[in-house]
């Protein structure tokens, strides 16, 4: 597989759109955090569960050793909602593939260190995801 070079924005509009993408505190993330908090759980936000690897989880439950990742449908290739980019399609397809491989590697590294990774798609109902997370936290704390 050939190495990909970073490609500049294809237009000023694309550049502004990309700059507006937030890495944390997105609407789906805030909704999930509110729902988890309402269930009485406390967590760390945007934290590295393992300091030795550069991977940041959206929610981290340190005592239960659970890292929650809220994955965007476009960025992580949701089988239900992922759409192909209209511009620089090859670049973005490879980017999503690399993201998915990194997600699998992250889950494996966490498991090897005794952690559990929970992945939530951005389109999932935050209350249902929060219940799923709460169940896993309670199981791992006992």
Write out pLDDT tens, residues 63-80.
999 999 999 998 898 989
Confidence of residue 9 (pLDDT cuts 50, 70, 90): low
Domains and CATH numbers, the chain: 23-141 (3.40.960.10)
What predicted TM-score, i.e. pTM, was given to this entire model? 0.83
100 in Cβ contact with 77 (< 8 Å): yes
Q: Is 83 helix (H, G, I), strand (E, B) or coil?
A: coil
Residue 18, pLDDT > 80, answer no
Tens of pLDDT along 91-125? 989 999 999 999 999 999 999 999 999 999 999 99
Location of structure tokens 């550069």:
54
């Amino acid at each position: 597989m050939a190495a990909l070079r970073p490609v500049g924005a294809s237009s000023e509009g694309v550049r502004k759109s990309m700059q507006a993408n937030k890495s944390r505190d997105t609407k789906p993330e805030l909704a999930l955090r509110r729902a988890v908090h309402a269930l009485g759980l406390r967590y760390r936000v945007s934290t590295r569960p393992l300091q030795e690897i550069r991977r940041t989880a959206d929610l981290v439950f340190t005592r239960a050793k659970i890292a929650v990742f809220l994955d965007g449908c476009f960025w992580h290739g949701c089988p239900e909602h992922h759409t192909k980019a209209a511009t620089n399609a090859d670049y973005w397809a490879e980017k999503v593939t690399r993201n998915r491989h990194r997600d699998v590697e992250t889950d494996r590294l966490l498991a090897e260190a005794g952690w559990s990774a929970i992945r939530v798609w951005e389109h999932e109902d935050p209350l249902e995801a929060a219940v799923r997370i709460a169940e896993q936290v309670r199981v791992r704390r006992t």
